[in-house]
Structures are given as C-alpha cells and as structure tokens.
Chain A
C-alpha cells in the first residue's frame, strides 16, 4: 500500500491557461475526495466520487472546474482559463467506505501568475 499519490507536486501557470492534476488513490478505496486549501486556512471540500460516479460538487467548483474518475481508479481535476484566485494547494483523499477515515495525498500546489 503506497498511499495516495498526486501529480504534479507543483504547477506554475500563466493566467488563462488550462491545467490538469492527477490523483491515484489507495487501491480498492472506492471513495475519492478533492479539497482546496489556501494559505492559513483549512482545506475546503470541492467534490467527491464513489467509484466513477461523482456524488457531490461544492459551490466552490465553478464551471471552469471539472473532475473525472474514469473506471473508478485515478481521478483528474481540470481547471480551465485559470485565474490568480485559483492559486492554492489542491488535495486529494481516499477512503475505503463512506464516513471512514480519509487518507490524504501530498497535494498539488498551483501558482497562477
């Protein structure tokens, strides 16, 4: 069990560009969550999946954000037309079952210049 992995670890992009992040959960965890964390704050929920089904999206997730989890394994989070306000740490977590312990990855730090 290698834990939750996220790639890339750091991403610097110019405003208006599209970016995509990947999360590989712990194997056999059917729950996968995305959170966003800005400096000095706790993480905020963005969306989550049960297998390949996206069950909930936060109002924080504007139309420029999309997440997928094809085949119920890894997940991608895409941000289109990035804005400076998107600069944050994007965290992924997985869990073996509903309301169980969530295990977090190392995060992807996005900087939009």
Chain B
C-alpha cells in the first residue's frame, strides 16, 4: 500500500525567503507526482505534474524535483510572497494502468509572514 508523507506539517517563513517542501512515498513504482495548492475551505489547484522519467519541472517561482529511487520529491518556492500562504499537497498514482487513483500526503501548511 502506497503511503505518502509530508514534513513538516506546518512552516512559517518571512516574506522573500526561498523555501523547500518535502514529500516522500513508500512505493517507488509511481507513474508521476503531482503538487497541489489548497486555500482554506477551497478545492485543490494543480501546480506541477512531474513524470517518473523527469527529474525536475518548473513553473514560474516553483520548481519540483523527483528522485524516484529514493522515494522523494521536493517543491522549491523562490522569493516567497504572502499570497503563497496555503496548504501544499503532493499526490502519486501507482504506475500500472487501472490503478490511477491518487494517494495524498497530509500536506504542509505554509504561512508567509509579511
């Protein structure tokens, strides 16, 4: 059974700092990994999807890396802004077709201090 862990559960940093969020998974047979953002009481917004064959994916100030063999992914946020405050979730499907449901971590709640 796939288990996804995100550490830390909460993080507060001053505005302008760069930061890294961590995601680890127990079964390395993943097809891809998706990072999401969730604002309080809202749905999920997809940030980045990184395929199992990729090592990095970038979008604006966000950079996601994937090390499938060690079961780890990181989300790097550059020059953080108060608007980045949200919960960040990572999720993975297993690699075989027919098993595409996402398994989520419990998220990292990020607060950017102005």
Contacts and interface: CB of A to CB of B under 8 A. Distances in A.
Chain A: interface residue count, which band? 20 to 34
Contacts of A44: 104
Interface in A38-84: 40-45, 48, 55-56, 58
B102 interface: yes
Interface stretch (B14-22, B58-66, B75-83, B89-97): B89-97
A104 B4 contact: no
A94 to B, nearest CB: 12
B42 A107 contact: yes
B50 to A, nearest CB: 10
* Residue from A98, A102, A106 with most neighbouring chain B CB atoms (10 Å): A102
B44 A43 contact: yes
Nearest to A45: B101
A104 B44 contact: yes
A42 B107 contact: yes
A41 B106 contact: yes
A76 B103 CA distance: 22
B98 A55 contact: yes
B100 A98 contact: yes
A22 to B, nearest CB: 15
A107 B105 CA distance: 18
Given A99-B31, A99-B93, A33 B46 contact: no
A44 to B, nearest CB: 7
Interface string A1-36: 000101000000000000000000000000101010
14 contacts: A4-B43, A33-B102, A35-B102, A42-B106, A42-B107, A43-B89, A43-B102, A43-B104, A56-B101, A99-B32, A99-B97, A99-B100, A101-B34, A104-B36
Interface of B: 4, 31-32, 34, 36, 41-46, 49, 89, 91, 93, 97-98, 100-107
Given A35-B102, A103-B46, 4 more contacts: A42-B4, A48-B100, A93-B44, A102-B46
Interface of A: 4, 6, 31, 33, 35, 40-45, 48, 55-56, 58, 91, 93, 98-99, 101-107, 109
